[in-house]
A and B are shown apart, each in its own frame.
Chain A
Amino acid sequence: MKLYDIAHSRAGDKGNTLTLSLIPYRPEDYAMLVEKVTAARVSQHLASIVRGEVVRYELPLVASLLFVCHDALSTGVTTSWVMDAHGKTLSYALLEMEL
């Protein structure tokens, strides 16, 4: 099973920092995501993209996780030379993770 099958995500950017939300379709899966999708696991999963630290925030009231990935967008959106300078597509790289 992939994360894609049970959760959805939106990517955002602030300078060279990438943000990835992780939202289960069913709130009852939140506890399992908290247990299994750790910051270390995401850091390993996105190792070829995120060079800096990954910080995870838990938002139990809305049953959602937020991953803040530092040094993730080449040199930052404005001077980047990559195809997807904002990292917009990276939400689906996270959802590619096998559970």
Chain B
Amino acid sequence: MRKKIRIGCGAGFSGDRLEPARVLVEQGDLDYLVLECLAERTIALAQKRKQKDAGLGYDPLLERRIDILLEPLLRKKVTLITNMGAANPIAAAQRIVAVAKSRDLPVSIVAVTGDDVFTLLTGNELATETGRPIKEAGTLLSANAYLGVEGILDALRLRPNIIITGRVADPSLFLAPMIHAFNWSRDDFNLLGQGTVVGHLLECAGQITGGYFADPPLKAVPDMEHLGHPFADVSEDGTALISKVAGTGGVVNLHTAKEQLLYEVVNPHAYFTPDVVANFTTVRLEQVGPDVVKVSGGSGTTRPPTFKTSVGYQALFLGEGEITYAGPNALARARHAGDIVQKRLTPFFSDLRVDLIGHNSVHGESFIAQQQPYEVRLRIAGKALTAEQAALVGEEVEALYTNGPAGGGGVRKYVNEVVGIVSVLLDRSKVVHQTNQYRHETL
């Protein structure tokens, strides 16, 4: 049995940078690399791509990431664990096989499935957000349960080079290799809680190495253009040292670790994952070296009886238009333009969102500077049932060029289809994972 493992996190969201993962594999002396690429809504959007083409529905950057990482992963004997399978882990595994064939590299892959529970739902299940049946939200598109460590543990026993999943709780991607390496009991909730804390600290990649943290001079982060992504040296008692590859940009200190520890936590006494209800209030952080933070003390109480399941539904179309005014009286001209568009759209929209970017667009009217902004960008947004109706917003903003106040410029208009998400809780017994093996062997 192992005494210590090193797990790196080379992506914290689907659009994350490609290079830090390569640096981690080449120079990080890793045992495992995790790429966490699935936000709440990503999988519903991926499901729509799969409905159009059964060979799609995995992460759009899969090929690019694998192309960069496959050879060094094999050469350095690093196991990749990723949820880039999104709505279609099988197609993702087949795609990786195709990349390996084209590069003539031998690879073994396990795709973990079972998170897609769409066919199990009747539509009468109650949304946790509203208490109403989910079918009332709109046309249902997808339903994916947040799986825990089980499927990945089965996959790890097969010793593949790559494990690719759909929806799995983010910390479980990290907790699974810990349980596998140290043979932790699935009922030792303190160990599972501590391992979950470590996973939570790593799962947003650069967010613990100085990314989304920098605000110099108070919060200076060196060499951010080469920001390194993190790894953790996890010991068999769950204690971990969080750090990054020497020579990369960024910083790991108590402040970056604290910001990430509390990120998106709605109850630090009871952080729910499929594996454990973890307690973050018992965590201790200690700076033990330059760019090295020790994490210990995380705990846990029990395993939840249900799987949280995200249900995607066809919500609406969002129409937006933007135009900029600058110089003397810019704010008043932007406001005037907003009034004009609102009046022109009254027959088609009961309500419109009007923002003055640079003035009140993100924090409302409570924090407005005394001084008027030199330039201000008007943004108007409207929700519509059809794309055609949504397009009216941008059309009226664009028409301000010759039918609105003086000096407007830089119009942009957008129509976006919006997928909404509601959640339901499914009994654990209803959700069954499967492992599916794929390989390419060289001659």
Contact B285 A62 (CB under 8 A): yes
- Bound state CA distance, A77 and B215, in angstroms? 25
> A20-44 interface mask toward B, CB cutoff 8 Å, 1 = contact, 0 = none?
0101010000000000000000000
Contact B315 A78 (CB under 8 A): yes
B84 contacts partner chain A, Cβ-Cβ < 8 Å: no
Contact call A48/B366, Cβ cutoff below 8 A: yes
Name the CB-closest residue of B to A63.
B258
B: number of interface residues (CB 8 Å): 51
B314-364 with Cβ < 8 A to chain A = 315-316, 318, 353, 355, 357, 361-364
A83 to B264, CA, bound (A): 19
Report how far A62 CA is from B421 CA in the complex, Å: 33
Is A14 a contact of B315 with CB atoms below 8 Å? no
Of B224-232, B275-283, B435-443, the one touching chain A: B275-283
- Cβ of B269 within 8 Å of any chain A Cβ, yes or no, is yes
CB contacts (< 8 Å) of B246 on chain A: these are: none
Q: Check A61 against B281 for contact (C-beta < 8 Å).
A: yes
* Given A10-B259, A62-B261, A83-B355: A57 touches B379 (CB 8 Å cut-off): no
Interface size of A in residues (CB-CB distance below 8 Å):
38
Tell me what chain A mostly uses at the interface: helix, strand, loop, or mixed. Answer: mixed
Q: Quick one: given A25-B255, A59-B262, A59-B281, are A84 and B297 in contact (CB under 8 Å)?
A: no
A8 touches B255 (CB 8 A): yes
Cα distance A9–B266 when bound, in Å?
15
Q: Which residue of A lies closest to B280 (CB)?
A: A59
Which B residues touch A99, using CB under 8 A? Answer: none
A16 and B267 contacting across the interface, CB-CB below 8 Å: no
A21-B263, A81-B383, A93-B363 given; 8 more Cβ-contact pairs under 8 Å: A15-B421, A19-B264, A61-B282, A68-B266, A79-B315, A79-B316, A79-B418, A79-B420
Chain A interface (Cβ < 8 Å from any Cβ of B)? 4, 8-10, 12-17, 19, 21, 23, 25, 46-49, 57, 59, 61-64, 66, 68, 76-79, 81-84, 89-90, 93, 96
Q: Is the CB of A21 within 8 A of B420?
A: no
Residues on A with C-beta less than 8 A from B218 are 4, 8, 25
A66 to B282, CA, bound (A): 14
Q: Is B284 an interface residue (CB 8 A)?
A: yes
Which chain B positions have C-beta within 8 A of A68? 266-267
Residues in B with CB closer than 8 Å to A15 are 129, 421, 423
Known: A23-B255, A59-B281, A81-B318. A93 touches B367 (CB 8 A): yes
Measured CB to CB, the closest approach of chain B to A50, in angstroms, equals 10
CB distance from A18 to the nearest CB of B (A): 10
Residues of chain A within 8 A (CB-CB) of B254 are 62
Cβ distance B256 to chain A, nearest Cβ, rounded Å: 10
Is the pair B266, A21 in contact by a Cβ cutoff of 8 Å? no
CB of B105, distance to nearest CB on chain A (Å): 38
7 smallest CB-CB distances across A and B, nearest first, come from A12-B264, A21-B262, A48-B364, A10-B259, A48-B366, A79-B420, A84-B362
Nearest residue (CB) in B for A20 is: B262
CB-contact partner of A83 in B379, B382, B420, under 8 A: B379
- Contact yes or no, B281 A82, CB < 8 A: no
Say how far B129's CB is from chain A's closest CB, in angstroms: 6
A91's closest neighbor in chain B, by CB?
B259
Report the minimum CB–CB distance from A79 to chain B (whole Å): 4
Q: Cβ of B365 < 8 Å from any Cβ of A?
A: yes
Asked if A57 and B281 make an inter-chain contact with CB atoms under 8 angstroms apart, the answer reads: yes
Of the residues A48, A59, A81, contact of B353 by C-beta under 8 Å: A81
Report which of A46, A49, A64 forms a contact with B258, defined as CB distance below 8 A. Answer: A64
- Complex: chain A residue closest to B268, CB-CB: A57
Are the C-beta atoms of B262 and A10 separated by less than 8 Å? Answer: yes
Which residues of the other chain, B, contact A79 by a CB distance below 8 angstroms? 315-316, 418, 420
Residues of B within 8 A of A46 (CB): 366
Chain A residues, Cβ within 8 Å of B282: 61
A62 touches B258 (CB 8 A): yes
Task: Please encode chain B, from 390 to 426, with 1 for each CB lying within 8 Å of some chain A CB and 0 for all others.
Answer: 0000000000000000000000000000111101000
B264 / chain A contacts, CB cutoff of 8 Å: 12-14, 19
- Shortest Cβ distance from residue B131 to the other chain A in the assembled complex, whole angstroms: 14
The answer to whether B258 and A17 touch across the interface, beta carbons within 8 angstroms, is no
Residues on the B chain within 8 Å of A83, using CB: 355, 357, 361-362, 379
| B352 and chain A: residue at smallest CB distance | A81
Contact B255 A10 (CB under 8 A): no
